[in-house]
Amino acid sequence: MVQDRADINLSAARGVANREVSMKRGHGATDFLQFVDGKAIGTIEAKPEGHTLSGVEEQSAKYDRGVPAGLPAWKSPLPRTPARSTAVRFALEQQSVLKPFAESVVGCFGEWMMDKAKAGVIFTPEQLAWLNLIRDHIATTTSMDVEDFDYAPFLQHDGLARHTRFSAQLCPRCWRN
């Protein structure tokens, strides 16, 4: 449901997008602030067709860090939007083909897995399942922070404790140093 800033009602629907929301002082106003279950989850910076994307990533990042105090958010700063990141990389010619970010992550992960297999690394089914959870998280959020292990789906699988165990198994030298 899309609402005007004067008509903000975060209970009106499970998913709400508010137009022209003023962010914290010095952070401007985002074209749309998205909410799920009453908490901010992301911003959208709309541009007309043909508008150059230079500067949009910085502008959007400023909005992501500028959620007004007292406004509930799932995470602070707000997570980056994969589609926005992909569009910016394409516009900056860092990516020659515009394709979904998740598809790029899956492709890079597949290449990494092949490199590991060529090097003789064999993952247990449990390790592979964990790596797939991380891959899927990055594909939908564009990043991975240690705090993410405190949330679903990682928390249901022992969160940071499991990650620490697997990291030590996958790179024992790293943990000794």
Q: Is the pLDDT of residue 104 over 90?
A: no
Quick one: pLDDT at residue 79?
Answer: 62
pLDDT at 114 over 90: yes
Q: Where are the domains of the chain?
A: 2-91, 101-176
Structure tokens of 140? Answer: 């939908």
Question: Over the stretch 7-63, which tens digit does the pLDDT of each residue have?
Answer: 888 888 878 888 888 888 888 888 888 888 888 877 777 766 666 666 666 777 777
CA atoms of 91 and 67, how far apart (whole Å)? 27
Return d(Cα 65, Cα 77) in angstroms, integer: 5
Q: What Cα–Cα distance (Å) separates residue 100 from each residue in 11, 33, 103, 164?
A: 31, 22, 5, 30
Predicted local distance difference test score (pLDDT) of residue 59: 73
Please tell me what DSSP assigns to residue 22. Answer: E
User: Residue 91: what pLDDT?
Assistant: 46
In tens, the pLDDT along 149-175 reads 887 788 787 777 777 777 766 665 544
Q: At 92, is the pLDDT very low, low, confident or very high (cuts 50, 70, 90)?
A: very low
Residue 146 has pLDDT above 50, yes or no: yes
Determine the pLDDT at residue 167: 72
pLDDT band at 90 (very low <50, low <70, confident <90, very high): very low
Closest to 163 in 3D by CA, of 123, 120, 122, 131: 131
* 129 half-sphere exposure, CB direction, 13 A CA radius: 8
**What pLDDT, on a 0 to 100 scale, did the predictor assign at position 105?**
83
What's residue 117's pLDDT?
Answer: 92
